[in-house]
Each structure stands twice: as C-alpha cells, then as structure tokens.
C-alpha cells in the first residue's frame, strides 16, 4: 500500500543557485532617486520537506545607487530555483542577500507572496538596510 507520509520528491540544495548569473548596468542619473519595482508571478521553488512545488509572486523593489539589475539576467537567476528545496523565510533572505551583493542599492525590499497550500497563505518580506 502506498504511504504518502514516506514519499519525498528529490530536490536540489540552495547552494545550486549562482549569484553570478545576475548582471547590472550603470545608473546614469546619480543623485536622482528612483524606485525600481519588478514583479513576476511565475516563480517556483520546492518545499524542502516534501519536495512538492511552491508557487509565488516575487516583488523586488529598490532604490539604486550606482547599479541597476538587468532584467533578463534576473529572470535566469530566478529560474535556478525551479528544483531547489528552500523554506520561504530562507528564500526571501537569500534573494535579498544576492541582490544587495550584486547591485549595492540604497534600499531594497523583497516580497514573496506564495499561493495557498493546505489552507494557509504565506507572504514573506526581507528588507535592506535591515
């Protein structure tokens, strides 16, 4: 007889995600603060406990200093999480740490709104500076 409690799908570790996929370009208006907001509703990662997929909306909002994250590279970076097992709370902090290390913004917020699972809806927000 099949026992779902003993079933776990295989997943990749978070270390598989490489920050160097992210590219930046120079912000040509130093001294003029702008807010950059980028959203995708196509984000997927995997629950590290069960291996089942998690789906979410990722919103990246930041005020650039000298560098701006290039969007194509951001998409490739986020696609690396497709088979990565990571808890929501760790994911928000890893995204924030990688983005801050890449573009050194003045301020940044990463918000992830995950779809409902088991009747629970979760939203996680990480901010820089902390």
Instruction: Based on the residue annotation, tell me whether 113 is a catalytic residue of this protein.
Output: no
Q: Is the residue at 75 inside a domain? A: yes
Q: Is the residue at 101 inside a domain? A: yes
Domain range spanning residue 90?
19-128
128: nearest Cα among 113, 102, 114: 102
Per the structure block, which two tokens stand in for 109? 């917020």
- Using H for helix, E for strand and C for coil, what is the string for 36-91? EEEEEEEEEEECCCCCCEEEEEEEEEEECCCEEECHHHHHHHHHHHHHEECCHHHH
> Which of the residues 6, 11, 20, 47 is marked catalytic?
47
* CATH number of the domain encompassing residue 32: 3.30.1130.10
Instruction: Based on the residue annotation, tell me whether 65 is a catalytic residue of this protein.
Output: no
Q: Is the residue at 14 inside a domain? A: no
Q: Is the residue at 5 inside a domain? A: no
Taking residues 110-122, what's their average pLDDT? Answer: 93
Q: Is the residue at 4 inside a domain? A: no
> For 54-106, how does the pLDDT look when each residue is reduced to its tens digit (9 = 90+)?
999 999 999 999 999 999 999 999 999 999 999 999 999 999 999 999 999 99
Q: Is the residue at 81 inside a domain? A: yes
Position 88 scores a pLDDT of 95
Give the residues across from 69 on adjacent strands.
Answer: 24
Q: Domain total for the chain?
A: 1
pTM for the complete prediction?
0.92
- Please determine, for residue 1, whether its predicted confidence score (pLDDT) is greater than 80: no
Q: Is the residue at 2 inside a domain? A: no
> Which of the residues 6, 20, 26, 54 is marked catalytic?
54
Q: Is the residue at 9 inside a domain? A: no
Strand order in the sheet with 36-46: 36-46, 53-63, 107-114, 123-128
């Amino acid at each position: 007889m099949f026992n779902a409690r003993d079933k776990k799908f295989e997943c990749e570790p978070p270390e598989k995600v490489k920050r160097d996929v992210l590219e930046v370009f120079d912000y040509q208006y130093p001294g003029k603060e702008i807010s950059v907001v980028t959203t995708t509703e196509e984000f997927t990662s995997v629950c590290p406990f069960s291996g089942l997929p998690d789906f979410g909306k990722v919103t990246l909002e930041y005020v650039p200093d000298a560098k701006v994250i290039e969007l194509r590279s951001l998409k490739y970076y986020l696609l690396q999480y497709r088979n990565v097992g990571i808890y929501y709370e760790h994911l928000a902090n890893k995204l924030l740490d990688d983005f801050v290390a890449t573009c050194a913004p003045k301020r940044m917020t990463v918000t992830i709104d995950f779809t409902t699972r088991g009747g629970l809806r979760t939203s996680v927000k990480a901010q820089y500076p902390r």
